[in-house]
Structure 1
């Protein structure tokens, strides 16, 4: 047997043993000392590429697509969300329409009532003058008619403005005269500190915040 057949397997390479002597590789299958066949070296176990994977689970390009598909909403769920959003939008539009309609209705009612009160101003002025002169004494038929008329207007939100002793308010009063505090017939409320109504020539009327006519009054300043 040649020297090349005597090189033991698994020994150092020729490059590693360069300069250290010849290298003998023994490739004989029969051991010369025992005469028994030599056992082949156990090959190194190979580790499968998916050894770290959990049994029953496989990863691949298709898994990413399946995972991504779970995030996509179901067509029925998406349709239900769209219908819900549409219903909410319609409900908000209906609420706005209802509120706007109510405001317009109140405005129209106030405007119509104001037109009626303006047409009745001469009659209301006559009632006021009759009371000032004592012609509408309590218990007389005309006094009862005047009270019913004013009560009816009150049910529609009509309020009378302009009373002796109340502070002057330019939004509901029109001052026709300015009288001295110590003048004849001028009586100021006790403790008055601002311009005060001391005489009412014509009463005023308002409906809510809308002034139909300002009260025409005489005022006086406390001394």
Structure 2
């Protein structure tokens, strides 16, 4: 029995450590365990880099690597300048092409307009010839109904710039006159219109119909 008692006395009681952060009796926050107390004493700050030392240096290295050098900045500025110059050149070329296109459209529109007017006038020239013949015969008297009609028709044509060409006594011009007959005449030194068979007409710079004339040519 004594031996058993000795064994019970030598047996170590288990050690219980209270790791609670808050003391249940006082309610105060306990200080962390000492460094020598196993894993509980490990200082967490020892494993983390100190503020402003290695971490800051790493950040500085990263930022320094992202910065452009002077040579890179010059190349970037030159590329931007070239791009702006190219875009400006394209814009000016597009504007010039647009202006040329508008000019061509306006010119073609004017030419088409003149061509249509000239064609309409050409179809009405026989009526003008009849009015001119009636005037020659004395049928167009002041105040007569036919005279008023003739004045209105001629005024409408003149409104569009229609002009008569081929006048007796003026020099012969093959660009506007058509020689029906040539008669030698010692009184002229150049080919001259001796008589107008039918008047010619121009609309602006466009010849609607050449004048048919008799031409006096110098006698040999």
Common fold by TM > 0.5: yes
Q: 2:91 aligns with which of 63, 82, 87?
A: 87
SS of equivalent to 2:196: strand
Could you tell me how far apart the structure 1 residues matched to 2:177 and 2:151 are?
Answer: 23
Q: What pairs with 1:143-222 in structure 2 (closer than 5 Å)?
A: 143-181=147-185, 193-222=189-218
TM-score, normalized by length of structure 1? 0.59
Q: What pairs with 1:129-148 in structure 2 (closer than 5 Å)?
A: 129-148=133-152
Unaligned segments of structure 2, at least 5 residues:
1-68
SS of equivalent to 1:221: strand
Could you tell me how far apart the structure 2 residues matched to 1:180 and 1:136 are?
Answer: 35
Superposed displacement of residue 125, structure 1:
1.0
- Corresponding residue for 1:34? none
Unaligned segments of structure 1, at least 5 residues:
1-64, 183-187
Q: What pairs with 1:1-223 in structure 2 (closer than 5 Å)?
A: 66-67=70-71, 69-70=73-74, 72-73=76-77, 76-181=80-185, 193-222=189-218
Could you tell me how far apart the structure 2 residues matched to 1:76 and 1:138 are?
Answer: 81
Kindly report the root-mean-square deviation, in angstroms, between the aligned alpha carbons of the 2 structures. Answer: 2.4
Per residue, is there more helix in 1 or in 2? Answer: 2
Could you tell me how far apart the structure 2 residues matched to 1:136 and 1:169 are?
Answer: 31
- Corresponding residue for 1:46? none
